[in-house]
């Protein structure tokens, strides 16, 4: 259940036992339900067991900026719960299965078991690396490049989470939500997706994305995967050459 952290270290039996013994309560959320509201003081940390969620903030004028998309296995809300007061919202994108773990227990296990603490810390560092990449995306790339970049990032993250292949996956997001990730309008997101489609880089059916030409899409998106810190070609030893 908490195995995703294993990416950063190999846990021994005691570590695993401690993780599995963590007190928690389960919950499910419907799409669009708010998990943590800005200004709230959550006393527990939220782990996403299945489904998708996203973090966002509403700026003056009512526009929304999405900061990150989370998929099953992600610890969504370390920041808000450890720092006391939430400075942004966490919301369900799809139907979600959640586990809430008291922040105290999280803090305790992190410092009692350095291996686990280190994994959690590293996880927050990678989160920050993704934030940085999004700053660059939104700040310095044009609309088509932003979209291509986002699609590439999702591809690798979903594959790493075992939720698809890097060249074909399901993405349960509306174009308006994609717009709020990229700082564009839904209208323009539509045009850019269409353009990528027309140029043969991707194909789309409903909410599924097929990347027809990974190399070209990555180039179009100015995408280099290093910031994600995903060990390439993990279990199903895909053809590494394809990634670059």
Partner DNA sequence: CGAAGGGTTGAGCCCCTTCAATCTTAGTGG
Partner DNA sequence: CCACTAAGATTGAAGGGGCTCAACCCTTCG
Please state, in angstroms and rounded to a whole number, the distance separating the CA atoms of residues 40 and 37.
6
Question: Dihedral through CA 228, CA 130, CA 171, CA 6, nearest 10?
Answer: 50
Asked whether 175 and 165 are in contact (CB, 8 A), the reply is no
Give the nearer residue to a copy of itself in terms of CB position, either 60 or 205: 60
Distance, C-alpha 39 to centroid of its chain: 22
Interface pattern 110-149 for a copy of itself (x via CB under 8 A): xx--x--xx--xx-xxxxxx-xx-xxx-xxxx---x----
Q: How far is the CB of 148 from a copy of itself (least distance, A)?
A: 11
Asked whether 210 and 204 are in contact (CB, 8 A), the reply is yes
Q: CB under 5 to 8 A by kind: which of DNA, a copy of itself, none does 186 bind?
A: DNA
If one asks whether residue 185 binds a copy of itself (CB under 8 A), the answer comes out as no
Please state, in angstroms and rounded to a whole number, the distance separating the CA atoms of residues 82 and 94.
25
If one asks whether residue 37 binds a copy of itself (CB under 8 A), the answer comes out as no
Q: CB under 5 to 8 A by kind: which of DNA, a copy of itself, none does 240 bind?
A: none
List residues binding DNA (CB under 7 A).
142-144, 174-176, 183-188, 190-191, 193-194, 204, 206-207
Six-digit token string for 165: 């292949």
Please state, in angstroms and rounded to a whole number, the distance separating the CA atoms of residues 91 and 31.
8
Q: CB under 5 to 8 A by kind: which of a copy of itself, DNA, none does 7 bind?
A: none
If one asks whether residue 107 binds a copy of itself (CB under 8 A), the answer comes out as yes
Interface pattern 193-222 for a copy of itself (x via CB under 8 A): -----------------------------x
Q: Which residues, including other chains, have CB under 8 Å from residue 131's CB and lie 6 or more apart?
A: 67, 68
Six-digit token string for 147: 């979209």
Strand partners, 53: 70, 92
Footprint of a copy of itself on this chain (CB under 8 A)?
A: 55, 57, 59-61, 63-65, 67, 78-79, 82-83, 85, 87-88, 107, 110-111, 114, 117-118, 121-122, 124-129, 131-132, 134-136, 138-141, 145, 182-183, 222, 226-227, 229
């Amino acid at each position: 259940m908490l195995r995703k952290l294993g990416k950063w270290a190999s846990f021994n039996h005691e570590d695993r036992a401690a993780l599995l013994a963590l007190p928690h309560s389960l919950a499910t959320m419907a799409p669009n339900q708010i998990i943590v509201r800005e200004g709230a003081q959550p006393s527990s940390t939220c782990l996403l067991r299945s489904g998708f969620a996203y973090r966002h903030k509403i700026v003056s004028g009512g526009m929304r900026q999405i900061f990150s998309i989370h998929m099953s296995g992600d610890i969504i809300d370390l920041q808000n719960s450890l720092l006391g007061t939430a400075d942004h919202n966490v919301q369900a994108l799809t139907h979600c299965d959640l586990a809430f773990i008291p922040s105290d227990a999280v803090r305790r296990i992190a410092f009692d078991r350095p291996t686990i603490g280190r994994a959690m810390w590293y996880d927050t560092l990678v989160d920050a690396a993704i934030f940085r990449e999004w700053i660059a995306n939104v700040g310095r790339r044009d609309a088509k490049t932003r979209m291509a970049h986002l699609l590439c990032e999702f591809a690798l993250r979903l594959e790493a989470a075992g939720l698809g292949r890097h060249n074909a996956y399901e993405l349960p997001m509306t174009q308006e939500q994609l717009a709020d990730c990229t700082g564009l309008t839904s209208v323009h997101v539509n045009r850019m997706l269409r353009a990528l489609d027309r140029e043969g880089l991707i194909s789309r059916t409903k909410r599924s994305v097929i990347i027809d030409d990974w190399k070209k899409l990555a180039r179009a998106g100015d995408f280099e995967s290093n910031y994600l810190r995903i060990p390439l070609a993990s279990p199903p030893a895909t053809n590494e050459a394809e990634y670059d």
